[in-house]
């Protein structure tokens, strides 16, 4: 219950951003409630003053008045729906925007520990559930509160004893409703979690469809999907069954209350303690009193689904941004390029060290190459430079400034990174290169492409630089994608450059093109190059051989060959493979 109240409180802050429209909805709801409350009163007056008294002179006028009241109630209800649609859509628009913006500020380790499909589910399915809940339930809640207060007031004014009779069943309703609510909330949250897991499975299967087909795993993946889908079905059925019991339960007590009131009211009328018109009016108000409770019960599955969705959204938004510390950190502007690791220790998991006592210095303009077996810690070292992960001990300095006290945004603006898996976005080639410098002119973009050896192949494409790339650039070759990412890095003009096995997944011809492009990229910059093919780092100023999280050897290409150690062995193996 505390989680639910906390979630509703957070959601209300988004609703209150639409104060003017929300006030309009509330005013229209009050007007609608007032018109609805007038109906039973006018009906009772018609019975007592005109029908039973057989005074038909003013009955026609009263009927016209009742018709006008009900027509006005319908018009106000339509206006409610119009204003509410704008309130709910603007609220959810703001919530979805803030969630996506918060995604961009979360620490990189968070994304490494979560399924991407699960995260996508938070921004789609969970937000949609909030939308549906606001659209269908918000007005019902507001209207129900007003109708409850108004109906109860009119019941008290008509007959206090009958009001006490009407309230007899309320404690039972409250007690049972709370029990059902607790169970329903738990089931709907489980449903959203299973749905997120299913979306994650679909996302990774679609992304890796070639691998599935290559290893003939279609039937196995279909079976896994069927199992996940079955889990979702089971928890969904439970959620609907629990929420579905609320409506019949409320209807039962509504009818019981109606029978009790009618019986007691009949007794009062027989003994001239109340008029028939008052009893009829009271029965109408008793229905209006229990009706809102019944309507909320019928909408309960939607309310619970919306709350469960909002909880999952706010779970992410409550995760601290990695930029929250920015106000107390120092921005970094001009970078000379000196980088120093001093006794750096790092672990991904407690008790298992990924890096141990790493120390080295890169002077401005030098190229540091990192080689070694897979999993030795090469990529971990370069991730620490950009503070994508935080070190456990030691220090990392850039221009003699400890990076723990530097603003991450300004630090990363000085970095250029070309990864093994070239990631491109849907859009034109021009836009993808300009991603490195959003205010760059077309001429600057093309100049960067020329330096990256990308211009010639781009001009052979149907629309040249305006050629639209599909998701992740799958409509061009891997080598061409890599050249575009190098052009992007050249355009950003970084002070520090990181190349993470940029040529390991391409053929020999593409490798030569990329190596030529990298010469332009490396000029005048402090660079860190992770290399699988040793031919790409022969001219590096310093080569670090990383093994088991430690620097096992260091030196130039010639010096390491002369040592006849691990690097010499690796070089010999590659030479023999080529031979």
- State the pLDDT at residue 56: 65
Name the burial class of residue 248, with classes exposed (0-12), middle (13-18) and buried (19+) by CB atoms within 10 angstroms of its CB: exposed
Q: Which of 285, 317, 349 is the last residue of a domain?
A: 317
Residue 284 lies in a domain: yes
- Inside any domain, residue 471: no
Enumerate residues 6+ apart whose C-beta is below 8 A from 407. Answer: 326, 329, 330, 331, 332
Residue 268 resides in a domain: yes
Q: What is the torsion angle, in degrees rounded to the nearest 10, for the CA atoms of residue 433, residue 439, residue 442 and residue 443?
A: -100
400 phi-psi bin (left φ>0, alpha ψ -120 to 50, beta other): left
| 303 and 340 inside one domain | no
State the total domains in the chain: 2
Handedness of CA 52, 58, 64, 70 (dihedral sign): negative
Query: Do the domain assignments include residue 578?
Result: yes
Same-domain check for residues 182 and 253:
yes
Residues 343 and 313 in one domain: no
Taking each helix axis from N to C end, the angle separating 2-15 and 59-105, rounded to the nearest 10 degrees, works out to 100
Q: Do 237 and 362 belong together in one domain?
A: no
pLDDT of 75 reads 85
**Residues 274 and 398 grouped into a single domain:** no
Which of 264, 282, 317 represents a domain boundary (last residue)?
317
- Total-model pTM: 0.64
Tens digit of each residue's pLDDT, the chain (579 residues)? 556 778 878 888 888 888 888 888 888 878 877 777 777 767 667 666 666 666 666 677 777 877 887 788 888 878 887 887 788 888 888 888 888 888 878 877 777 767 676 777 777 778 887 877 777 776 677 777 777 777 777 777 777 777 777 777 777 776 776 677 677 777 777 777 787 778 777 777 776 666 677 666 778 778 888 888 888 888 888 877 777 776 677 777 777 777 777 777 778 777 777 777 777 777 776 776 766 666 666 566 667 777 878 888 888 888 887 765 555 677 777 788 899 999 999 998 877 888 999 999 999 989 999 998 888 888 899 889 988 888 999 999 999 889 888 888 888 888 888 877 777 887 888 988 888 788 889 999 898 888 888 888 889 888 899 988 876 667 788 778 888 888 888 888 888 888 887 555 555 566 666 667 677 667 778 989 887 777 778 888 999 999 999 999 999 999 999 999 898 888 887 665 554
Are 43 and 88 members of one domain?
Answer: yes
- What local confidence, expressed as pLDDT, does residue 507 receive? 56
> Do 362 and 305 have their domain in common?
no
Is residue 493 in some structural domain?
no
Task: Identify whether 232 is part of a domain.
Answer: yes
What is the spatial distance between Cα 4 and Cα 10, in angstroms, rounded to a whole number?
A: 10
Let me know if residue 458 belongs to a domain. Answer: no
Domain that holds residue 175: 2-317
Q: What's the CA gap between 566 and 578, in Å, rounded? A: 19
Q: What is the CATH number for 383?
A: 3.40.50.300
State residue 130 phi and psi, 5-degree precision. -65, -45
CATH number at residue 129: 1.20.1560.10
The per-residue pLDDT for 155 is 76
Helix (H, G, I), strand (E, B) or coil at 330: strand
Residue 182 lies in a domain: yes
Rounded distance between C-alpha atoms, residue 135 and residue 300, angstroms? 13
């Amino acid at each position: 219950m505390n989680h639910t109240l906390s979630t509703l409180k957070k959601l209300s802050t988004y609703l209150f951003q639409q104060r003017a429209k929300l006030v309009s909805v509330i005013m229209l709801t009050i007007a609608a409630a007032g018109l609805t409350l007038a109906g039973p009163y006018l009906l009772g007056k018609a019975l007592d003053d005109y029908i039973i008294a057989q005074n038909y002179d003013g009955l026609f006028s009263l009927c016209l008045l009742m018709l006008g009241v009900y027509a006005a109630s319908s018009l106000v209800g339509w206006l409610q729906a119009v204003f509410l649609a704008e309130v709910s859509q603007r609220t959810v628009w703001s919530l979805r925007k803030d969630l996506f913006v918060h995604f961009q500020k979360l620490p990189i380790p968070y994304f490494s520990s979560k399924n991407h499909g699960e995260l996508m589910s938070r921004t789609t399915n969970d937000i949609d559930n909030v939308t549906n809940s606001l659209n269908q339930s918000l007005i019902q809640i507001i209207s129900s509160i007003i109708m409850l207060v108004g109906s109860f007031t009119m019941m008290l004014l008509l007959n206090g004893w009958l009001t006490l009779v009407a309230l007899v069943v309320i404690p039972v309703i409250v007690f049972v409703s709370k029990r059902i609510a607790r169970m329903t909330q738990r089931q709907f949250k489980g449903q959203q979690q299973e749905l997120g897991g299913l979306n994650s499975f679909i996302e990774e299967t679609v992304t890796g469809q070639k691998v599935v087909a290559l290893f003939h795993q279609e039937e196995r993946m279909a079976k896994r999907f069927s199992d996940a889908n079955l889990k979702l079905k089971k928890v969904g059925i439970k959620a609907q069954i629990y929420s579905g019991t609320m409506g019949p339960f409320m209807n039962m007590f509504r009818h019981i209350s109606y029978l009790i009131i009618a019986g007691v009211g009949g007794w009062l009328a027989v003994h001239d303690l109340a008029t028939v018109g008052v009893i009829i009016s009271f029965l109408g108000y008793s229905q209006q009193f229990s009706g809102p409770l019944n309507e909320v019960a019928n909408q309960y599955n939607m309310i619970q689904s919306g709350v469960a969705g909002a909880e999952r959204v706010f779970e992410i938004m409550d995760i601290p941004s990695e930029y929250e510390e920015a106000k107390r950190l120092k921005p970094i502007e001009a970078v000379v390029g000196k980088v120093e690791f001093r006794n750096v220790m790092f672990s991904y998991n407690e008790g298992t060290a990924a890096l141990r006592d790493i120390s080295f210095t890169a002077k401005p303009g030098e190229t540091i190459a990192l080689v070694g077996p897979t999993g030795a810690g090469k990529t971990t070292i370069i991730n620490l430079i950009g503070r994508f992960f935080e070190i456990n001990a030691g220090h990392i300095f850039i221009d003699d400034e400890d990076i723990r006290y530097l603003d991450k945004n300004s630090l990363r603006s000085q970095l250029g990174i070309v990864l093994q898996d070239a990631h491109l976005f849907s859009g034109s080639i021009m836009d993808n290169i300009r991603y490195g410098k959003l205010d760059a002119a077309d001429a600057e973009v093309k100049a960067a492409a020329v330096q990256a050896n990308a211009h010639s192949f781009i001009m052979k494409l149907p629309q040249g630089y305006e050629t639209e790339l599909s998701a992740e650039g799958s409509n061009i070759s891997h080598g061409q994608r890599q050249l575009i990412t190098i052009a992007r890095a050249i355009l950003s003009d970084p002070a520090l450059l990181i190349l993470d096995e940029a040529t390991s997944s391409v053929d020999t011809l593409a490798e030569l093109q990329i190596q030529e492009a990298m010469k332009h990229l490396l000029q005048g910059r402090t660079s860190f190059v992770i290399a699988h093919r040793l031919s790409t780092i022969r001219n590096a100023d310093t080569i670090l051989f990383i093994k088991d999280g430690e620097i096992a050897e260091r030196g130039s290409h010639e010096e390491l060959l002369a040592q006849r150690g691990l690097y010499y062995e690796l070089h010999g193996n590659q030479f023999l493979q080529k031979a």
